[in-house]
A and B are shown apart, each in its own frame.
Chain A
């Protein structure tokens, strides 16, 4: 994760991407809120970790946010990339995404998008005590 930032020179905007299918029922669609969804997905430890990274790279990271992509088609994804002004993708290598219900893996879209992709090696941590805690960030 930090490897991502250390390569950068100048200030960047970091966008975390999460892909979900929109709900099927009309009621769920009516009450669908990006904010709520992100709030549900993000753990306090993740939030804290973002803050740590932000203060570590205070001059390099201009903004750090989480975006939700809900499209099906490749052109929708291209639009999403253009809308968020994404010019480079960093993806965890060898990390099995633990997808919650209704979420999907964006890698097929990313691979087709033609953007430069940097694979970040992901040290697989086993069943350590710091699993999913803020401390995990410090010990990568």
Chain B
């Protein structure tokens, strides 16, 4: 916009300058020719000059010539008054040999002419008709052009900003609608490849995670109270039934056994819950020290052997690195053992003691532990809930468990700045991959 304005203004300005000086030049030429013809009064040459003038010099509108003889000491007061031009014009003329003056649309050009009869001031005046009209025309063109161009660019800018900003506005409106009560709403992704589409997908993914987290929160209390109340109900029911009439010692022993069993289960749940809560906070009083991962998995193997003598855990050390420093991670051995035992135990449990492979390997700065079983797997749509406390996949009805192990494991892995990823196919097995950063301990 301003560029157009600047350009137009400068073009206009320079055209004016040029056309003025051009016009003065034309006036001066006329002055010279006329002076030669009129003042020198040589009949022959005057006639020739007159002819040349008629032929080659176009008559300017309102063209007038004036001749004044210059004698030393003469002032041009009267002439100036008669022509209505300032006296400075004459002074200029006498001093510099030429002078120009413009009054409205009439232009004056004067020259000093040394004729045969003396020194003359020749003044030619004319209306700069073309100049005037051309300039007005040019000015109008510029004016209209600028207005049209600005209107055009404004409308283009308007359309473009509408085009670009509309989707953003749509997203804003849509996101505003989403609150904690309707987290299931999603942005409709019409576009696929552009940045706006990416933004929508990102928003939707974030909403997915938010929704999952929300559901976890909501489910936790109901699940926890349910898990805790089931054994309690059993205990109360058992006691009630037993107390309803006189029983034999045998019956009392039986029912007390049931009560003890249920109470133990209750204790187990409470303990693991407590543990979960503890590992959920960082910076509690765990001691961190170097842990050798190969040692760790041997310990896991022996722990599992104690817990479940029928297990078929196989250790795969074929990808162990040559450099033992790469196997050392920083961590709390007890917690890591607990986490890994949990996973391996789950693998044995849900595969009905089929073969479970436990392998380790290292990247440049990470240790990877992989646990693979060929068990019942986890349905794909339930994979995202497996870290929720008390969540149990729909195909685990016939297996005992509370759904606390995996969340606990994840908390422990997180405490060690590690990652856990689970891939699974129903009835084909599950692969759990744990990644820990190596601890940069030197040998020894």
Contact = CB atoms under 8 A, between A and B. Distances in A.
Which of B364, B428, B431 lies at the interface centre, i.e. has the most chain A CB atoms within 10 A of its CB? Answer: B431
A129 B425 contact: yes
Given A51-B364, A133-B433, A127 B322 contact: no
Interface stretch (B45-53, B245-253, B276-284, B312-320): B312-320
Given A128-B425, A129-B429, A135-B431, A2 B323 contact: no
A52 B372 CA distance: 18
Interface string B341-374: 0000000000000000101011110001010100
A127 B319 contact: no
Contacts of B361: 52, 55-56, 137-138
B167 interface: no
B237 interface: no
Contacts, number: 77
A14 to B, nearest CB: 16
Q: How large is the interface on A (under 10, 10 to 19, 20 to 34, 35 or more residues)?
A: 20 to 34
Contacts of B316: 138-139
B370 A129 contact: no
Contact of A128 (B359, B362, B428): B428
A52 B424 CA distance: 22
Contacts of B318: 2, 56
B321 A56 contact: yes
A25 B359 CA distance: 47
B326 A55 contact: yes
Contacts of B364: 51, 54-55
Contacts of A127: 425, 428
A135 B431 CA distance: 8
A39 to B, nearest CB: 18
B431 A56 contact: no
B322 A56 contact: yes
B405 interface: no
Contacts of B368: 48, 52, 134, 138
A2 B368 CA distance: 17
B407 interface: no
B205 interface: no
A130 interface: yes
Interface in B414-434: 423-425, 428-431, 433
A129 B319 contact: no
B359 A134 contact: no
B362 A129 contact: no
Contact of B431 (A52, A57, A133): A133
B31 interface: no
B377 interface: yes
A128 B357 CA distance: 14
A134 B368 CA distance: 10
Contact of B322 (A48, A55, A133, A135): A55
Interface in B289-331: 316, 318-323, 326
Nearest to B365: A51
A133 B423 contact: yes
Contact of B372 (A48, A59, A135): A135
Nearest to A128: B428
Contacts of A115: none
Contact of A130 (B323, B363, B423): B423
B319 A137 contact: yes
Given A128-B428, A135-B370, A55 B363 contact: yes
Contact of A129 (B321, B326, B359, B423): B423
B39 to A, nearest CB: 78
B370 A128 contact: no
Contacts of A133: 423, 431, 433
Contacts of B326: 55
Contacts of A52: 319, 361-363, 368
A138 B370 contact: yes
A55 B322 CA distance: 7
A54 B323 CA distance: 11
26 contacts: A2-B319, A48-B368, A51-B362, A51-B363, A52-B363, A55-B322, A56-B362, A58-B322, A129-B377, A129-B423, A129-B428, A129-B430, A129-B431, A130-B372, A130-B431, A133-B433, A135-B372, A135-B423, A137-B361, A138-B359, A138-B361, A138-B368, A138-B372, A139-B316, A139-B372, A139-B431
Given A51-B363, A56-B361, A137-B361, 7 more contacts: A51-B364, A55-B361, A55-B363, A128-B429, A130-B423, A135-B372, A138-B361
- Closest 7 pairs (CB-CB, A-B): A55-B321, A138-B359, A51-B363, A52-B361, A129-B425, A130-B431, A55-B362
